[in-house]
Amino acid sequence: MSHPVPAIKKNDTVLVIAGRDRGKRGRVLSVHPEKGRLVVEGVNVIKRHTKPNPQRNIQGGIVEREASLATSNVQLVCPECGASTRVGRRLQDDGQRVRYCVKCKGVVDK
């Protein structure tokens, strides 16, 4: 039995639809489906105070990095029509499962 196709994957472009970064677009850096969260490039940037660690070659100071945000707060941006959209799933003629844009019916997975 094949596994379900996740709605949002790594390297997808998404639009943030809720929270302080509403309206921002970015590329998905990592997805954590077990927690229902993902990390988007340039979105939800936090400041982390880090201690220097010479063994791991880490410099101390205040580091800015992206924090994860809930999957429900982002929407996929269709690569064909450029609109933020919901994701549908369908079985192609060759038996492959693909994600498609609900608005333009274009295939998201290339």
pLDDT at 3 over 90: no
* Predicted TM-score of the model (pTM): 0.81
pLDDT tens string 51-101? 999 999 988 899 999 999 999 999 999 988 889 999 998 888 888 888 999
Between 4 and 108, name the one with better pLDDT: 108
Cα gap 108→13, rounded to integer Å: 11
The answer to whether residues 89 and 74 touch, using CB atoms and an 8 Å cutoff, is: no
Q: Is the pLDDT higher at 44 or at 109?
A: 44
Domain edges within the chain: 13-101
Asked if residue 26 has pLDDT above 90, the reply is yes
Q: What is the 3-state secondary structure (H, E, C) of 49-82?
A: EECCEHHHCECCEEEEEECCEEHHHEEEECCCCC
Contact assessment for residue 28 and residue 36, using Cβ atoms and an 8 Å cutoff:
no
Beta-carbon contacts of 72 under 8 Å, excluding residues fewer than 6 positions away, are 18, 36
pLDDT in the model for residue 95: 86
Which amino acid, 109? D
Check whether 1 has a pLDDT greater than 50. no
* Banded pLDDT at 106 (limits 50, 70, 90): confident
Q: Which two tokens stand for residue 52?
A: 């220097």
Q: Which residue has the higher pLDDT, 79 or 3?
A: 79
- The CATH number of the domain covering residues in 13-101: 2.30.30.30
* Chain centroid, CA 42 distance in Å: 11
Q: Where residue 48 falls among pLDDT bands split at 50, 70, 90?
A: very high
> Cα separation of 35 and 22, whole Å?
21
